[in-house]
Amino acid sequence: MSGVMSRFLSNATNRIDSKGRVSVPASFRSVLVERGIQELYCLQDFIFPAISIGGPDLLDRYERQIASVDPFSPEANRMSLLVHGGGVFMRLDAEGRLMVTDFIRDFAGISTEVTFVGRSDHFQLWQPQAFHEAQAAARAGRVPRPA
Amino acid sequence: MSGVMSRFLSNATNRIDSKGRVSVPASFRSVLVERGIQELYCLQDFIFPAISIGGPDLLDRYERQIASVDPFSPEANRMSLLVHGGGVFMRLDAEGRLMVTDFIRDFAGISTEVTFVGRSDHFQLWQPQAFHEAQAAARAGRVPRPA
DNA sequence: CCTCTTCCCATTGACGCCCATGTGGTCCCA
DNA sequence: TGGGACCACATGGGCGTCAATGGGAAGAGG
């Protein structure tokens, strides 16, 4: 069971409440539990107007990439600006909700609803219509336009 | 808990008050406590218009970097000028605020608001708009890929 | 004597923690 | 097979706590 279930799949759209919270889909939450993920690392996607969310290992992978070049080089400085300066740790509340901060709203263009999209080892937050359009574009075989 | 959190991550923008003080984000302050950092070493970033802040170990790392290049090169000369001639020690007040001196204002172009940017082992002070532009530019460049 | 700094306290708004409600779906049983 | 109890999950909101901010007053230094 755990083998198949322990990855983020499919998508779901939930509403943001008056306090700016949104429920993470239960199927995603169970994956987080199976993977032992308690701290969520959130990062602006490099291509799409979406927020990528995963465990601390997601950050580790980017840091290994940064470590592979000269740490004082402009290249490392630039990557750190994105990965460290643009990333945030968050945690869910007791009911499995997360705060939709301005950081998320502004970058993803989210206002009242959030679409959760599974990406196997992590998941993403999208503005619902933007997700549908990106998916339609992908289905048509065209190259999606970056933000 | 402390393992994951004990690095500077994400960004936040705070206001400078009439006395020229600004609150360091609580998440950054807790990292300073975990690392036992009481004296803050501040210097100009080599690439961006930003002030880098960390513990005394930050100075050590920069000195090692200078030592690793030809000591008579223009590059080493320039770095030494910034690190030794431009660096300054500061401490926070009881409420966790720091004074925004002219040294900081002039170099970073800061006037009324400061953006704190996490850089893992240190953090930086940016003029808010400049930070957003630098991040957008970094994202538009070559994309870091997870290992 | 005046200015700049440091220490202290007040305010307020945001966030975390908690419990309540509603709704859709499922399972059981008549 | 239709009805009803039950349950999981999404959602709503109260309330206490803490961070960010503002400003007064005492102290140091020119």
Residues B33-75: tens digit of each pLDDT: 999 999 999 999 988 999 999 998 888 888 887 777 777 888 7
Distance B97 CA to D20 C1' (A): 10
CB-CB neighbors (< 8 A) of B132 in chain A: none
Q: Which own/partner contact pairs does B60-68 have at CB distance under 8 Å and 24+ positions apart?
A: B65/A72
Name every chain B residue with its beta carbon within 8 A of the beta carbon of A103: 10-11
* Cβ A74 vs Cβ A6: under 8 Å: no
pLDDT given for residue A95 in this prediction: 95
Question: Which of B139, B142, B143 to mutate against chain A (most A CBs within 10 Å)?
Answer: B139
Tokens, residue B92: 């926070």
What pLDDT score was predicted for residue A43?
A: 95
Angstrom distance, A68 CA to D17 C1': 43
pLDDT band at A62 (very low <50, low <70, confident <90, very high): very high
A5: its two tokens:
């279930």
Query: B119 and A72: CB-CB below 8 Å?
Result: no
Would you state the structure tokens that stand for residue B60, as one six-digit string? 């050590």
The predicted-structure confidence for A69-117, as pLDDT tens digits, reads as follows 988 888 999 999 999 999 999 999 999 999 999 989 999 999 999 999 9
This prediction has a pTM of 0.89
Q: Which residue of A has its CA nearest to B121?
A: A84
Q: Which residues pair with B12 in a beta bridge?
A: B116
C1' of D5 to CA of A98 (Å): 32
Whether A82 and B10 lie within 8 Å, measured CB to CB? no
pLDDT band at A142 (very low <50, low <70, confident <90, very high): low
Beta strands in A18-120, from DSSP E residues, in sequence order: 21-23, 40-44, 51-54, 87-90, 97-99, 113-118
Largest CA distance in chain A: 46
Q: Tell me the C-alpha distance between B88 and B84, whole Å.
A: 9
**Average pLDDT, integer, range B116-123:** 96
pLDDT 10s digits, B129-140? 999 999 999 988
Confidence check: pLDDT of B78 > 80? no
Q: Residue A2's pLDDT is what?
A: 40
How close does chain B come to A68, measured CA to CA in Å? 10
Structure tokens at A68: 């592979």
Alpha-carbon gap, residue B25 to B99, rounded angstroms: 14
Q: How many helices (H) and strands (E) does chain A have?
A: 6, 8
Q: How far is CA A79 from the centre of its chain?
A: 18
Closest nucleotide to the alpha carbon of A21, via C1':
D11
Rounded mean pLDDT, B13-22: 96
pLDDT in tens, A12-40: 999 999 999 999 999 999 999 999 999 99
pLDDT band for position B81 (50/70/90)?
Answer: confident
pLDDT of residue A3: 42
pLDDT at B46: 84
What is the predicted pLDDT for the residue at A1? 41
B146 pLDDT tier (thresholds 50, 70, 90)? low
**Residue A26 pLDDT:** 96
In Å, how far from its chain's centre is CA B144? Answer: 22
**CB atoms < 10 A from the CB of B52, how many?**
20
| pLDDT at residue B5 in the model | 54
**Bases of chain D with protein Cβ within 7 A:** 8-14, 18-24
Distance D21 C1' – B93 CA (angstroms): 14
User: Is residue A110 within 8 Å of residue A51, measured between CB atoms?
Assistant: no
User: Chain B residues with CB inside 8 Å of A86's CB?
Assistant: 10-11, 135
- Predicted pLDDT of residue B22: 97
Query: Is pLDDT above 50 for B117?
Result: yes
* Site of tokens 């975990």: B34
Whose structure tokens read 């993470």?
A: A24
pLDDT at B1 over 50: no
Residues of B within 8 A of A87 (CB-CB) are 9-10, 118
* Amino acid B54: pLDDT: 95
Q: Whose CA is closest to A16, among A93, A130, A96, A112?
A: A112
The C-alpha atoms of residue A110 and residue A126 are separated, in whole angstroms, by 7
C-beta separation of A76 from A83 below 8 A: no
Q: Calculate the CA B147 to chain-centre distance.
A: 27
Pairing of strands A113-118, A11-15: antiparallel
Cβ(A46)–Cβ(A58) below 8 Å: no
Closest CA to B28 of B124, B99, B129, B126: B124
